[in-house]
Chain A
Amino acid sequence: MSAHAEEHFAGSNKLFISIWGWLLLLTLFEIFLAYKPMSTMIMLTILLGLSVIKAALIVAYFMHLKFERLSLVLTIVPMLVVCILLLLVFFPDSFRSAGLRYKFKEPPPVPVESPEP
């Protein structure tokens, strides 16, 4: 690759404006979702899906990663995904501590003393 080609920044302004429009549309859709009655888990899944799409658009086009060498993408992206997924390792604990906290919302029963012999 010549030095001149390296200076070139791929992507037209029209492309960037359309990416910006898509990002705005997805954001508006998220705000619309906020007022739809649904369970938190479903909402979380949809919101995270939309966020990942938005992040991918930003990384690919605005941060230009789509036009970089594949070896750079493979160095950066897979290990980041693995590390973030590894953070989930603590999650079962959060459900456990929730259970521990609410088990004794009333004081534990006083043990009945056996009658004197």
Chain B
Amino acid sequence: MSTEARAERFAAADWGGGVLPYRVGHRKLGMWLFIVSDCLTFSALLMGYAYLRASNVWPTPFPFYPSIVFSSVMTFCLLSSSLTMVFGVSASSRGDKARARKWILATIFFGVAFIVLHLIEWRHLISEGLRPFYLPEHWVNVFTTTEGVPPTPLFGATFFTITGLHMFHVATGAIYLSVVAARVKKLKHEDIEISGLYWHFVDLVWMFVFPLIYILSVDVGGHLAR
């Protein structure tokens, strides 16, 4: 048989109808496509942040405590929630729905812990005077360059937009998982796996937001503390 004929037969076997060409159900494929499009949303926001950062004087205001300590614990919460979610999906693949529900509830717990810690961290910054379009007065004094160029007030806009959208995704995920946990006995295994996909995606986005927003804006010299 010629190579072309063989290739044609392979293509017909997958795409000729009657089978799932990717070997995943249509709902799971849909979730993957949603995740891809959401990746683009976050990439565009992070790219916009990088653009503003490259074209402005950027303040680097995060102290070790509270900001970095809080964000590190938040990272720990999200990573652990991913682990418990994987255990949940694994239990559901073995047909152990009761255990899957327990692991999903643990996942929700870590997700809610993340949101609470993040809101406390936001409150610190807001009480310092950070707003979407204003910097606190003393930040402006500290981070103005020797040539007299002030830091950009857009710091707050990028910070609150990116972390806010991510927090919205975590909150949505927690609600989604509560519905899954409540109906876990009625759902198929693949549906639980799909909710896991979404949850891991939220974790994945934080793996980019945390270093780019927090680690790159650490107040290394402790300028604000002085």
Please report A residues at the B interface, Cβ cutoff 8 Å: 1, 6-9, 11, 13, 16-17, 20, 23-24, 27, 30-31, 33-35, 37, 40, 43-44, 47-48, 50-51, 54-55, 58-59, 61-64, 68-69, 71-72, 75-76, 79-80, 83-84, 87-88, 90-91, 93-95, 97-98, 101-102, 105
Query: In the complex, are the beta carbons of B218 and A35 less than 8 A apart?
Result: yes
Query: In the complex, are the beta carbons of B55 and A50 less than 8 A apart?
Result: no
Query: In the complex, are the beta carbons of B44 and A16 less than 8 A apart?
Result: no
Query: In the complex, are the beta carbons of A20 and B80 less than 8 A apart?
Result: yes
Query: In the complex, are the beta carbons of B24 and A68 less than 8 A apart?
Result: yes
User: Chain B contact residues: over half helix, strand or loop, or mixed?
Assistant: helix
Q: Could you tell me the distance in whole angstroms from the C-beta of A4 to the nearest C-beta in chain B?
A: 11
B130 at the interface (CB under 8 A from A): no
Query: In the complex, are the beta carbons of B72 and A31 less than 8 A apart?
Result: yes
Please report B residues at the A interface, Cβ cutoff 8 Å: 14, 21-24, 29, 32-33, 36, 39-40, 43-44, 47, 50-52, 54-56, 68, 72, 75-76, 79-80, 82-83, 85-87, 89-90, 93, 147-149, 189, 193, 196-197, 200-201, 203-204, 207-208, 210-212, 215-216, 218, 220
Q: List chain B residues, Cβ under 8 A from A33.
A: 215
Known A17-B83, A34-B218: A58·B93 in contact at CB below 8 Å: no
Across the interface, A95 reaches (CB within 8 A) one of B55, B83, B210, namely B55
